Amino acid sequence: MVSNASNAPPVIGLTTYLEQAKQGVWDVRAAFLPQQYFASVTAAGGIAVLLPPQGDPDPEAAAAAVLEGLDGLILTGGLDVQPELYGQDRHPLTDPARPDRDAWELALFRGAEERGIPVLAICRGLQLVNVARGGTLHQHLPEALGTERYRIGGGVFADNIVEVAPDTRLAGMLGAGPFAVHSYHHQGVDRLGEGLVVVARTDDGLVQAFESEGPGYLVGVQWHPEENAEDKRLFAGLVAQAAAYARAKEPVT
């Protein structure tokens, strides 16, 4: 288990859905996140804290308060980022807007960057980071690339092979070369955001992972690493960075 100097595991915040959900007689709007995400964090030695959309009308202030208690941040999967945020008209197959989630996660990401908090961005999370950095998205990959290989539907994850570039953070965790992943998305990176470096692609050229230039820890992957119960290396990498962040912010006595 990775721990900080005070022997407490690092605290990792995970963003969540906020959707209509049913349980027994209740049919209410609720925050939730598939167990695989936070189970992956705890298996890697971290403590998982769920972060539902909140802070209206001031998500920046709410995010600032939350980030004071975090050592790492995971931006999770979910519905599409609003195309209005990157200056495009809405495609007919783009998901309905979730402005509360977009505003909340943008505030969390920007606040985490300001503080140097390590970030792992997964699927939608990668897309949100790209938009936050001024990039754009393909709103429907079957039109852009002519393939349904990334979302076969029915809640079944597609299997794809990505090529991990050598001499990158990602290669340091997963190894360089071909790597099998689980995909479930119909959007992807079009124009890359500022300060991001592509570190994995599929054979059709689609960006499958990026890292941030310069200092700080930011790794974004288009696939779903939480779906691979046998391999928690991306989560272990984040937890290790979060533990280092926690040690660095401890007061000197």
Query: Hey, which residues are catalytic here?
Result: 123, 224, 226
Spatial distance between the Cα atoms of 102 and 81, rounded to a whole number of angstroms: 7
Count helices and strands (H / E) in the chain.
Answer: 7, 13
**Can you tell me which residue has the tokens 């001024």?**
134
Based on its alpha-carbon atoms, the radius of gyration of the chain, rounded to whole angstroms, reads 18
Q: Find how far residue 229's CA is from the centre of its chain.
A: 18
**Can you tell me which residue has the tokens 């809640």?**
155
Query: What is the sign, positive or negative, of the torsion defined by CA atoms of 219, 54, 189, 84?
Result: negative
**For 208, phi and psi rounded to 5 degrees?**
-115, -15
Here the tokens at position 215 are 């200092």
